[in-house]
Amino acid sequence: MAWVYYCKLVDTRFQASCLKARLEAAEGWSYRRTPRYIGIFQTSTGKYGIKALW
């Protein structure tokens, strides 16, 4: 399995956690499987992003 990275980077960990919560609560996964894990990562420049493992 490979990580799938969400295409938007945000400035704070709080914003990333809000995006994570929205993805976890999304009902749009009906056409695909639900991700097994959704996590937050930090880039070397200090921005935060979301990654999912299917």
Q: Where are the alpha helices (DSSP H) in the chain?
A: 13-25
pLDDT, tens digit, 9 for 90 and up, residues 12-48: 999 999 999 888 887 665 556 777 888 999 999 999 9
C-beta of residue 11 within 8 angstroms of C-beta of residue 48: yes
DSSP state of 24: H
State the pairing for strand pair 48-53/37-42: antiparallel
C-beta of residue 1 within 8 angstroms of C-beta of residue 53: yes
- pLDDT for the residue numbered 16: 95
- pLDDT for the residue numbered 35: 78
- pLDDT for the residue numbered 10: 95
